[in-house]
Chains A and B, each alone.
Chain A
């Protein structure tokens, strides 16, 4: 039977994937054709969603963006044999955006049925855990260290070292926690993976649990991701029934239980200590460090807290060895990063690539510039706490250290494009406003600084004592940067200061007589 693939990724659903799937089923039935429809994750080429794929002897042929109105025409054209149509994209694997990626973590996303364990295994799934169990804990951690994997949540701390700390902690009860509180605007990689390949996360966390000696894991997912939550819960049930979770993982005699916990709309709970508080059933207030969570984490026990993308990179590393992963990348940034192109972008989506590509290539070539067709004026890298890059800095290499040197951060891999209609003073104000909205309130620079910061930028935008207030807001940013407990207050200065530094004309406009609109 001919197999047709339609995503059920939330972003595909948001542009009508369910309606297209229903129309496809109706049309096939009306024509007396038997097709097998498989709902996959997304390939991450969102300008082509709804992206329909059909299996042919030559490979999977794509059509997109498909709307309900296209469906009868697709049948007329004979798309079930991969025939030409105005929405035809040819072989999906050969679409340049996909072909030039290094898909290690996202190799299966958009390809397999996310909840078909046999399909997952057929694509290499659970080979990593099998090898990890054969290697034992110390050797597993050695592979992770060799891979050079660093925390993909933004901090970039070496994952293997964190695991080693937890493994050697002399305490019986330990935890493994996945931070899937993906709150950064411009990021959706966690969501895509939870919806499109949930077993890879489960496998990665299980490998971590076996390596550090944890018996209980939690995946903390934000409530804004209901589809991801459903997908994970279903996958956990399937894994448990197959003996891949539970009292004896893969008959190893070691137990690992995994549970999804849902956030409640607090951005700051993406900060690891606030996340721990939230999991304990408290307000998501940031903890002072030390003690580090690896030694005193959830309920005071040694805890691995890793970003979802870190865990999802693990099965590849254990299956193919740390060296295979470290072969990608540059400098101290080893492996690949699932870069997410978003905002005012022509070709928005997920682009997994080895570190070392330039920012400009990602923005102009891969992303194709803006959706509006106007020039790119600014790119915010790394979420609401990331710096704005002007085109003058597009030669910056995508690498933790290079980004830091350019006054920015990689964060969770998001890139949000803005065209030349953007008002950077407004964006700077928004950064302060967002910080005030989401501050947990524990430390003064963040709690009060953010509100005062928004007020001072308001004055600048109104043309009130601009020079003096610009100096004041920059001084305030220094205080927030060095005086805040966590990255929320500490990194809010990144977007603010980078906007002032690279786009000063937007902050002095109100002084000019022509400013009145």
Chain B
């Protein structure tokens, strides 16, 4: 869900988490949950409230794969690319899918409907290949099942 920047909401998130030890990550996670990404305004605000430099906050945001610098598409498909899924043909399925959608890893379709991202293990390694579409997990995802999944959000 992407909502417009609201400094009041961001302030409230920071205030609620401030007493926690090592509060920066929980704060950034809640900000991303609220706004869909980490807006530049948030970096400024968090730095000021936590008495950190903007560089330090930017450093943390850019280090972790989860944090977005821009909103994702309306749906996010995370395809597992780790070894157990590779053993069950995940790479070929993913390649075919990306080709058909005309997307590269991490890219969003032009209509803003779908972002496809790699993920390195969802812990479903005995039901490979696996994927996560928004918040739902899917296992034993062969090419046909993957197509059916995309039909659902078409």
Contact = CB atoms under 8 A, between A and B. Distances in A.
A222 B80 CA distance: 15
Interface stretch (B3-11, B19-27, B93-101, B108-116): B19-27
Q: Which of B120, B121, B135 has the most CB of A within 10 A?
A: B121
Nearest to A65: B140
Interface string A249-263: 000000000000111
A224 B123 CA distance: 8
A281 B126 contact: no
A282 B21 CA distance: 12
Contacts of B66: 223, 263-265
B137 A14 contact: yes
B87 interface: yes
B86 A430 contact: yes
Nearest to A10: B137
Contacts of A348: 125-127
A185 B127 contact: no
Contacts of A265: 64-66
A266 interface: yes
Interface string A289-323: 00000000001000000000000000000000000
Interface in B1-55: 21-26, 28-29
B21 A299 contact: yes
A224 B121 contact: yes
A188 B124 contact: yes
Interface residues of B, number: 39
B65 A282 contact: no
Contacts of B87: 343-344, 416-419, 422
B125 A185 contact: yes
B138 interface: yes
Contact of B65 (A262, A266, A371, A430): A266
A414 B125 CA distance: 9
B76 interface: no
Contacts of B119: 224
B71 interface: no
B123 A187 contact: yes
| A contact residues, range | 35 or more
Given A187-B125, A340-B126, A416 B84 contact: yes
Contacts of B64: 263-266, 283-284
A265 B135 CA distance: 15
B1 to A, nearest CB: 16
A373 B28 CA distance: 46
Contacts of B29: 223, 262, 264
A139 B24 CA distance: 39
A427 interface: yes
Nearest to A276: B22
A344 B60 CA distance: 37
Interface in B67-109: 67, 82-88
Nearest to B87: A343
Nearest to A379: B87
A147 interface: no
Contact of B120 (A225, A343, A434): A434
B118 to A, nearest CB: 9
A416 B60 contact: no
B126 A15 contact: no
Contacts of B25: 261-262, 264, 278-279, 281
A475 interface: no
A315 B30 CA distance: 34
B63 A283 contact: yes
Contacts of A427: 83, 86
B128 to A, nearest CB: 6
A164 B128 CA distance: 41
B135 to A, nearest CB: 7
Q: Which of B23, B26, B83, B85 has the most CB of A within 10 A?
A: B83
A281 B23 contact: yes
Interface of B: 21-26, 28-29, 59-60, 63-67, 82-88, 119-128, 130, 132, 135, 137-140
15 contacts: A10-B123, A46-B127, A182-B123, A183-B120, A185-B85, A187-B121, A223-B29, A261-B26, A266-B64, A266-B65, A280-B21, A340-B126, A344-B128, A414-B84, A440-B63
Nearest first, the 9 closest Cβ-Cβ pairs linking A and B are: A348-B126, A281-B24, A185-B82, A342-B125, A343-B87, A264-B64, A265-B65, A14-B139, A46-B126
